[in-house]
Amino acid sequence: MPRDQAADAQHLYDDRATKYDDSWHPRFTQHVIELLDLKPGEHVLDLACGTGLVTFAAAQAVGLTGSVTGVDISSGMLAQAHLKQLSTNVENVEFHQHSITSLSNLAGVQGRQFDAITCASALVLLSNPALALKHWARFLKPGGRLVTDVTHIRSQLGHLTLERVGRILEIPIPSHRLRFETPQHFQDLLQQAGLVDVDLKLVSQVQVNGHGDGVDAHVCNMNQPRIDRVYTIEDGETIFEKLMGSRYGEALAADGVKDRARQLFLAEWAKLANDEGEIEEVDGVFVGVGWKPS
């Protein structure tokens, strides 16, 4: 059984690894790369690199005079990254299996400072994101930038509701999205890590304005996010059962817990409804860029 956050993540992502790239992540990581604005010769640390979606695109942008170091805890996700490396012969990339919350003793990272650090789609998985951000900032060069993201509080509402239930029952669920109730919470954490000129954008999974597939075409008004899906209160039962059949919900699926979890889930789910009984979901991610002072 999982013992801690990193072990939980390994358990969750080893299982998803072979199918991970069949998702919205390849497109989203292109937005991350665009916001990083990498230059040839730069050195990049890609935290929670997974199957290498950011890693390989960054390696192309920095060229052979630059480098990208990817770190992830999941051997399954890293195996996918290694397969890509073998089939493309990319030379300026190295991967390490390690927790991203304790980099000080990791050969290839310890004692180094990078031009850019990325952590795409993983900050919300960490149990102490504030501490992690402060830790990562130590590995940034003065003048370097960090790019990371958190999901909008109205996105993936089933998972979010399960997190609420986990809190009530004091059973850990492998994500911590409730810490980021508003974009201000995210901005505060980036600033508390010593980063300046922090810029946040709400990036929708679909194109919301303009043309093309660049990040600008996906940027939404933070105060008026696009509603991508509408559920009913009755949908809660199906969503709960689906989550119980996934690794994400397995801690609550155990005998003796599941019935109480269902009751709480349905009560928390209903609280999301507006006056018309509709539950509105947003497929959006806040992406933050912050700079280490020169």
Ligand X SMILES: C[S@@+](CC[C@H](N)C(=O)[O-])C[C@H]1O[C@@H](n2cnc3c(N)ncnc32)[C@H](O)[C@@H]1O
Contact characters 131-150, ligand X, x per CB under 6 A: --------------------
State the pairing for strand pair 140-151/43-47: unpaired
Shortest spacing between CB 75 and ligand X, in angstroms: 9
Shortest spacing between CB 119 and ligand X, in angstroms: 7
Q: Which of 80, 92, 101, 161 binds ligand X (CB under 6 A)?
A: 101
Q: How far apart are CA 181 and CA 287, in angstroms?
A: 15
Compare residues 176 and 236 and give the one whose CB is closer to ligand X: 176
Shortest spacing between CB 48 and ligand X, in angstroms: 3
Compare residues 81 and 252 and give the one whose CB is closer to ligand X: 81
Shortest spacing between CB 93 and ligand X, in angstroms: 14
Q: Which of 59, 100, 239, 252 binds ligand X (CB under 6 A)?
A: 100
* Maximal C-alpha separation, the chain: 58
CA angle 72, 75, 79 (to 5 degrees): 100
Q: How far apart are CA 118 and CA 242, in angstroms?
A: 32
Q: How far apart are CA 103 and CA 86, in angstroms?
A: 26
Residues 6 or more apart whose Cβ sits within 8 Å of residue 292? 137, 140, 141, 142, 143, 144, 145, 146, 194, 195, 196
Question: Can residue 9 be called a binding residue for ligand X (CB under 6 A)?
Answer: yes
Question: Can residue 124 be called a binding residue for ligand X (CB under 6 A)?
Answer: no
Question: Can residue 29 be called a binding residue for ligand X (CB under 6 A)?
Answer: yes
Q: How far apart are CA 161 and CA 168, in angstroms?
A: 11
In the chain, the amino acid numbered 45 is L
In the chain, the amino acid numbered 178 is L
Shortest spacing between CB 43 and ligand X, in angstroms: 18
Question: Can residue 287 be called a binding residue for ligand X (CB under 6 A)?
Answer: no
Question: Can residue 195 be called a binding residue for ligand X (CB under 6 A)?
Answer: no
Compare residues 67 and 268 and give the one whose CB is closer to ligand X: 67
Total residue count of the chain as it appears in this document: 294
Q: Which of 109, 125, 285, 289 binds ligand X (CB under 6 A)?
A: 125
Contact characters 35-74, ligand X, x per CB under 6 A: -------------xxx--xx-----------------xxx
Contact characters 223-242, ligand X, x per CB under 6 A: --------------------
In the beta sheet, which residues pair with residue 118?
46, 147
With contacts defined by CB under 6 A, name the span among 61-69, 93-101, 192-200, 233-241 that binds ligand X.
93-101
Q: How many residues bind ligand X (CB under 6 A)?
A: 22
Residues that bind ligand X (CB under 6 A): 5-6, 9, 13, 25, 29, 48-50, 53-54, 72-74, 77, 99-101, 120-122, 125
